[in-house]
A and B are shown apart, each in its own frame.
Chain A
C-alpha cells in the first residue's frame, strides 16, 4: 500500500496461530503506550492501550505486555485471522502532559490462510 513501508519488519503467521509483535520504546519517562493497526490506504486504528502502572492488559483477542525494566512492549493476537493482516505500530507518550505520541517504525503482519 501507499502508506506502508517497503522495508518494514515482517511477521508471517498461519491463520489460527497466535501472533506476537514486539516494540522497544526509547523514553523511560513514558507512562502511556498504545498499539495501532494500519491497513493499506487508511489511518491508524486504535487497538489497545496500557499505562505504566500496569504490566498486562487484555482486550478481545489481544493482550499487551509492558516491561518497563527493559523498555519493551508486546502485542499478542490470539487465533490470528486474515483480517488481522496490517501494519502494527506502538506509540509512547514520552511522559508529556498532553497526548503527543512518538511512534515506532511499525511491523507488518501477514496472515497465511
Chain B
C-alpha cells in the first residue's frame, strides 16, 4: 500500500530537549510538507520541500528545522527554541509536477512537552 508513515504516534519530551519526528512516503511524490494542528484551529504550514535537498519556510517555521536528503523522507526537528511545541504534527506529500493536486496526509504525531 502506498502512503505516508509518521512515527511515533505519541511522543513525550522534557522541555529544553530537541526532538525529531519521522515522515516517510512511498508515493513517489516530489513535494512534502509539515503542518501543525492545535485544538480549535486549522492546520498551519511549518516547512515544505518541493525537491530533494531544498526546502522553504512556511508560516510558522521559528523553532523548527527540517532536512530533505532523500525523496522519501522529510524529518522535522522541534528544537528547544520552539516556545509552545505541544501539538499534533502532520506530514503530507503531493505531486510537484501537477501543481493543482491535493495533499495526502499521514496520521500524525502527537507531541507533548512538559
Which of A's residues lie within 8 Å of B, judged by CB?
2-8, 31-32, 34, 36, 41-46, 49, 51, 89, 91, 93, 97-106
Q: Is the beta-carbon distance between A99 and B99 smaller than 8 angstroms? A: yes
Q: Which of A42, A89, A100 is close to B33, meaning CB atoms less than 8 Å apart?
A: A100
Q: Are A43 and B40 in contact (CB under 8 A)?
A: no
Q: Is B37 an interface residue (CB 8 A)?
A: yes
For the residues of A in contact with B, the DSSP-based class is loop
Task: Report the bound CA distance from A112 to B88 in whole Å.
Answer: 28
How close is B95's CB to chain A, nearest CB, in angstroms? Answer: 8
B100 pairs with A98, CB closer than 8 A = no
Contact A105 B103 (CB under 8 A): no
Establish whether residues B43 and A89, one from each chain, have CB atoms under 8 Å apart when the complex forms.
Answer: yes
The 5 closest A-B pairs by CB, nearest first: A5-B40, A43-B105, A103-B42, A3-B88, A103-B43
A-binding residues in B (CB < 8 A): 4, 6, 31, 33, 35, 37-45, 48, 50, 58, 88, 90, 92, 94, 96, 99-108, 110
Q: Please tell me if the beta carbons of B90 and A44 are within 8 angstroms of each other in the complex.
A: yes
CA–CA, A98 to B95, complex, Å? 10
Residue of B nearest to A51 (CB): B100
With a CB–CB cut-off of 8 A, which chain B residues contact A8?
Answer: 40
Residues of chain A within 8 A (CB-CB) of B50 are 98
Task: Give Cα distance in the complex from A103 to B90, angstroms.
Answer: 13
The distance in angstroms between the C-alpha atoms of A46 and B40, with both chains bound, is 20
Q: A8 to B39: give the CA distance in the assembly, Å.
A: 9
